[in-house]
Amino acid sequence: MVSGLIVGVGVYFGSGCTSGHGVCGIARVSPRSLAATVTFMGTAIATVFVVRHVLGGF
């Protein structure tokens, strides 16, 4: 339930889901979608780096 709530809040503040911004928004060359997709990808890359290299994860 907590994960669903977090995703819902992200969709609300991001004005759409990651797939919508990444596929449809970039295809329309929407500046807002380009910024959102760069933010999503940057956050994902930073999270993987921290979990794997800083915390010594799997």
Q: On the CB side of 11, how many CA atoms lie within 13 Å of its CA?
A: 10
pLDDT in the model for residue 47? 92
Per-residue pLDDT tens for 11-52?
A: 888 777 777 888 888 889 989 889 988 988 999 999 999 999
At residue 36, the pLDDT reads 86
- CA dist 49 and 55 (Å) reads 9
Q: How confident is the model at residue 8 (pLDDT cuts 50, 70, 90)?
A: confident
Of 13, 45, 49, 56, the C-alpha closest to 21 is 13
Q: Tell me the whole-structure pTM to 2 decimals.
A: 0.68
Q: Please report which confidence band the pLDDT of residue 6 belongs to, taking 50, 70 and 90 as the band edges.
A: confident
